[in-house]
């Protein structure tokens, strides 16, 4: 009997028995609280009890022992009365319970148990109306115990779905073991919890959305090999740029070409340009399963550390969720530019994360890298080779020394002779073009005869394509299409394209943000009204002069630029009637800019 007790229960049992036997042996009136007080203190010293019981407690134990005919089993812990087994209930009641639970509780609507009780009451009422043996309505506790007897996995599967259930009932994930640096590297991206701004010429700021971060972490040493922050959403170009920052040689920071790369299953990681680059670098790419963040646990943990240690302490942070953010206005408090954020993250990684002791390694990541990296001889690329290799690759036709991709043109004078020779021989003029989708100002071109000899081609619209990303270019093309401007971008002047880019730069990062779209439209309308107001004011002032000059005072196109017009400017020249602005105000700044195509930058 005593063998079934736990160690704690056995100590309590022996303690009570020791006090009762000592008091009963030394006192005739063992239940007298005044007389047994001294004996209790002496017994406590003998058994080493730091907190002896009160006299009233010992007297109660003695009474319980005497009433139980001196049986020590009265000091055993009392067992809680067991509830009746639910399976012993009336079989008809069990059928009703099972039917109600299956129809109401075990579905994707996630109905509460109160809804099941209502269904049970209806089913029992129908049963009692047609049977002599009446069933009683079970209690809520009985229903809860019936549901608890069911398989937990099956209940969760039918109520929450397979993906949620598998995550809830999964065992601990496998650990990633790498024997040396660069043997295994993880890559992933996230939308950063901070709003960035762009400073205007007048000193004001316009928020341009939340940036996107892509990072590479070495599993063996936990060092960050490379990262890239941009306003362009996740795509093959951002991943290639992060990979370039990882493999380009840097004597001051950990860099190298990994042997195995664990990536997400997203569309950006399945980009053909990225996979081709990894194939050329002999990198084994392994995609993890969908909806399995544990497969990239190390990089996910790094993102959390970055957010809590740095990002959530910056102005304009959005925090991790609305509860943490509270009434903090992230857009109004935003002060960081893209370059500022890149500098902060780079400084934090180099001066804080790499130098701080890692909990799993019990050492600083940079110390582990410096100790183990010399033995594996990390392979790296030069910056020039990386710029040519880590680009999206396409095949185009060279025509008159130009190539065209995405509605943009680049000129390559060094291949003019080759093109003329191919034309004379009536052969195709197909060339290999490598494009950096984050900077469309220049591309690299190679012929099929010499696929390793690349020539640099420069944009025919250098002002427009300077540091222009493909994402921004497509966004501008969509805006032109919405405004029903059908002219091809290849026929537009560089200055005009640059003006369009300035007008719609604020839309970058807000492609899916409906609130930001409305704010942007109001901003355009405000600028348009201001320009019309300035023009009308100048026109009124000119007409108010009673100089007797009846020349046409229609404002020049130069008055429609951002800069305020010169009051001393000569307006005596008459413009053609088709250039006169309509009296109705345009709906947006875009229309003003389109009318004034030759406005100065």
**What tens digit of pLDDT does each residue of 193-232 get?**
999 998 777 778 888 889 999 999 999 999 999 999 998 8
pTM of the model: 0.61
Average the pLDDT over each of 217-221, 394-398, 510-514 and give the range with the smallest value: 510-514
What DSSP character marks residue 560? G
* CB proximity list for 244: less than 8 A, separation 6 or greater: 226, 386, 387, 390
Query: Residue 439 pLDDT > 50, yes or no?
Result: yes
Query: Residue 560 pLDDT > 70, yes or no?
Result: no
pLDDT band at 510 (very low <50, low <70, confident <90, very high): very low
pLDDT in tens, 9-58: 888 888 888 988 888 888 877 778 888 888 888 888 888 888 889 989 98
| Confidence at residue 192, expressed as pLDDT on a 0 to 100 scale | 95
* CB proximity list for 335: less than 8 A, separation 6 or greater: 197, 205, 315, 316
Query: Residue 376 pLDDT > 60, yes or no?
Result: yes
pLDDT in tens, 232-285: 888 888 889 999 999 999 989 999 999 999 988 877 777 778 888 999 999 999
CA distance 129 to 77: 48
* CB proximity list for 211: less than 8 A, separation 6 or greater: 191, 192, 194, 196, 229, 230, 231, 338, 341, 509
Domain spans, the chain = 2-75, 90-168, 185-383, 395-510, 514-591
Average the pLDDT over each of 97-101, 209-213, 228-232, 575-579 and give the range with the smallest value: 575-579
Average the pLDDT over each of 117-126, 162-171, 381-390 and give the range with the smallest value: 162-171
CATH of domain 185-383: 3.30.420.10
Average pLDDT on 541-551 reads 51
Asked if 106 and 158 touch (Cβ cutoff 8 Å), the reply is yes
- Bigger pLDDT: 358 vs 292: 358
- Bigger pLDDT: 169 vs 562: 169
pLDDT in tens, 48-89: 888 889 989 988 888 888 888 888 888 888 766 555 567 678
| Confidence at residue 123, expressed as pLDDT on a 0 to 100 scale | 93
* CB proximity list for 57: less than 8 A, separation 6 or greater: none
Closest CA to 10 of 88, 84, 75: 75
CA distance 143 to 133: 21
Mean pLDDT, the chain, whole residue set: 80
Alpha carbons within 13 angstroms on the beta-carbon side of residue 133 total 4
């Amino acid at each position: 009997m005593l063998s079934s007790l736990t160690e704690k229960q056995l100590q309590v049992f022996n303690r009570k028995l020791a006090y009762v036997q000592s008091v009963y042996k030394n006192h005739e009136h063992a239940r007298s609280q005044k007389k047994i007080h001294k004996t209790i203190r002496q017994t406590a010293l003998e058994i080493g009890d730091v907190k002896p019981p009160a006299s009233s407690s010992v007297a109660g134990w003695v009474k319980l022992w005497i009433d139980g005919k001196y049986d020590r089993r009265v000091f055993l812990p009392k067992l809680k009365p067991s509830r009746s087994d639910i399976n012993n209930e009336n079989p008809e009641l069990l059928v009703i319970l099972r039917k109600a639970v299956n129809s109401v509780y075990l579905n994707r609507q996630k109905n509460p148990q109160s809804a099941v009780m209502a269904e049970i009451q209806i089913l029992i009422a129908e049963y009692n109306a047609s049977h002599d043996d009446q069933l009683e309505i079970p209690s809520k506790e009985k229903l809860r115990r019936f549901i608890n007897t069911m398989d937990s996995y099956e209940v969760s599967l039918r109520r929450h779905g397979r993906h949620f259930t598998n995550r809830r009932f999964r065992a601990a994930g496998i650990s990633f073991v790498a024997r040396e640096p660069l043997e295994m590297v993880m890559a992933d991206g996230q939308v950063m919890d901070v709003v960035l701004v762009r400073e205007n010429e007048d000193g004001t700021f316009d928020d341009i959305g939340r940036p996107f971060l892509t990072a590479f972490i070495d599993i063996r040493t936990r060092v960050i090999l490379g990262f890239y922050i941009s306003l362009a959403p996740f795509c093959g170009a951002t991943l290639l740029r992060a990979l370039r920052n990882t493999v380009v040689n840097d004597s001051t920071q950990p860099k190298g070409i990994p042997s195995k790369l664990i990536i997400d299953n997203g569309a950006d990681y399945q980009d053909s340009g990225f996979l081709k680059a990894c194939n050329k670098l002999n990198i084994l790419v392994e995609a993890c399963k969908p909806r399995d963040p544990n497969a990239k646990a190390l990089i996910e943990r790094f993102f959390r550390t970055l957010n809590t240690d740095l990002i959530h302490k910056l102005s304009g942070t959005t925090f991790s969720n609305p509860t943490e953010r509270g009434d903090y206005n992230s857009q109004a408090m935003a002060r960081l530019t893209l370059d500022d954020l890149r500098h902060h993250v780079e400084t934090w990684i180099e001066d804080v994360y790499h130098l701080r002791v890692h909990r799993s390694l019990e050492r600083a990541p940079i110390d582990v890298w410096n100790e183990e990296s010399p033995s594996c001889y990390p392979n790296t690329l030069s910056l020039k080779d990386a710029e040519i290799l880590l680009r999206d690759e396409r095949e185009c036709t060279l025509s008159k020394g130009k190539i065209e991709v995405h509605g943009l043109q680049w000129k390559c004078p060094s291949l003019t002779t080759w093109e003329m020779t191919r034309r004379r021989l009536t052969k195709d003029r197909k060339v290999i073009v490598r494009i950096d989708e984050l900077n469309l100002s220049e591309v690299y071109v190679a012929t099929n005869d010499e696929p390793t000899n690349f020539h640099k081609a420069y944009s025919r619209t250098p002002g427009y394509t300077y540091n222009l990303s493909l994402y921004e270019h497509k966004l501008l093309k969509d805006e032109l299409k919405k405004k029903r401007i059908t002219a091809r971008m290849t026929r537009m002047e560089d200055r005009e394209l640059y003006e369009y880019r300035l007008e719609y730069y604020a839309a970058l990062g807000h492609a899916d943000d409906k609130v930001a779209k409305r704010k942007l439209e109001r901003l355009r309308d405000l600028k348009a009204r201001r320009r019309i107001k300035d023009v009308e004011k100048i026109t009124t002032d000119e007409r108010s002069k009673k100089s007797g000059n009846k020349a046409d005072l229609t404002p020049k196109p130069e008055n429609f630029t951002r800069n305020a017009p010169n009051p001393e400017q000569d307006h005596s020249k008459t413009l053609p009637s088709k250039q006169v602005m309509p009296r109705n105000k345009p709906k947006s700044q875009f229309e003003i800019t389109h009318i004034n195509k030759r406005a100065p930058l």
